[in-house]
Structure 1
Amino acid sequence: MNSNNSFQDTLALIGRVLIAWLFVPSGFGKIMGFAGTAGYIASKGVPLPEVCAAIAIAAELGLGLLILVGWQTRWAALGLGLFTVVITFIFHNYWAVEAAQQGMQKMNFDKNLAIAGGLFALAAWGAGRLSVDGRNPQR
């Protein structure tokens, strides 16, 4: 193994840990506050808020854990990236909020799109060798 590959694999591991750091606790928090999560989703006019809360938990906690350990990473990152894009337009619609909230919502909108970009890059390039997927180079 050359040092360049080792460096790339280490960065891929760090990247996966940092992405999981965002999503896994958020998904766990949604479990612990399920009613509040469903209520917030309902307040945005989203139908079937309990179902959507369960989907959010599965995406954030489930796919976040897959990314953390690096198993089925490309699919997990693609799914979480798509999830992030969809929820960004629903929950950070800065163009439709009062002026006092626009700056914060725009920042969260842009941040979420950047996170989705990182997830799509992870989907394209995979988890690296320091992962469950790394044991099978076909992934």
Structure 2
Amino acid sequence: MTTTSSRGWTLAARVLMAAIFLVAGVRKLMTYGATLGYFAKLGIPFGDVVLPLTIALEIGGGLLLIAGWRLQWVASALALFTLATAFTAHAFWSADAAQFSGQLNNFLKNVAMAGGFLLLIVQATDGKRTTAGR
């Protein structure tokens, strides 16, 4: 049974997890040209297509995460995006000594966030089973 208290904590967790995506998406939008250049530096193909999709996923996904709309799908998309970003943008194994710690920390942060999304997916799945069993 889901209590009002646990729903409140779950909402707080979703808001905290969404914050990084909302901020990142807005920052990418505000620094569009520089971000496009950064994507090119990372070797991301079709940056002019990928960047608007990334912004839409970060801002839209963040808002949908807060709202709890289709939580399994949104959390799954953000988990995959977060893991892809870890391997694409935070390749600590090829970073120079000055960047190693920062890239390792960001990589691990992304992996931990993917773990948080897995918990949200499981919780949403369990909630559907509980509701269906009534």
TM over 0.5: yes
Runs of at least 4 residues off by over 4 Å: none
Name the structure, 1 or 2, with higher relative contact order (CA <8 Å, separation 6+). 1
How far apart, CA to CA, are the structure 1 residues paired with 2:118 and 2:49? Answer: 25
Q: TM-score, normalised by structure 1?
A: 0.85
Structure 1 contact 84–116 (Cα < 8 Å) conserved:
yes
Contact 1:23 1:61 in 2 (8 A): yes
SS of 2:45's partner is coil
In the superposition, the TM-score normalised over structure 2's length comes to 0.88
Residues 1:117 and 2:121 are matched in the alignment: no
Aligned to 2:28: 30
Equivalent residue, structure 1, for 2:55: 57
More helix by share: 2
Gaps of 5+ in 2: none
Q: For the residues of structure 2 that align with 1:31 and 1:100, how far apart are their CA atoms? A: 28
Secondary structure of the 2:26 match is helix
Deviations for 1:29-50, whole angstroms, at most 9, x for unmatched residues?
2112211111111101111112
Q: Within 2, Cα distance between the matches of 1:32 and 1:102?
A: 27
Q: Counterparts of 1:33 and 1:74 in 2: how far apart (Å)?
A: 31
Which residue, 100, 103, 121 being the options, matches 1:102? 100
Identity between Structure 1 and Structure 2 (%):
36
For structure 1, which runs of at least 5 residues remain unmatched after alignment? none
CA offsets per residue over residues 75-111 of structure 1, 9 Å max, x none?
1010001000001101100000111211111011001
Q: Distance in 1 between matches of 2:33 and 2:12?
A: 33
**What amino acid sits opposite 2:34 in the alignment?**
G
Q: Give the AA of the match of 1:87.
A: T
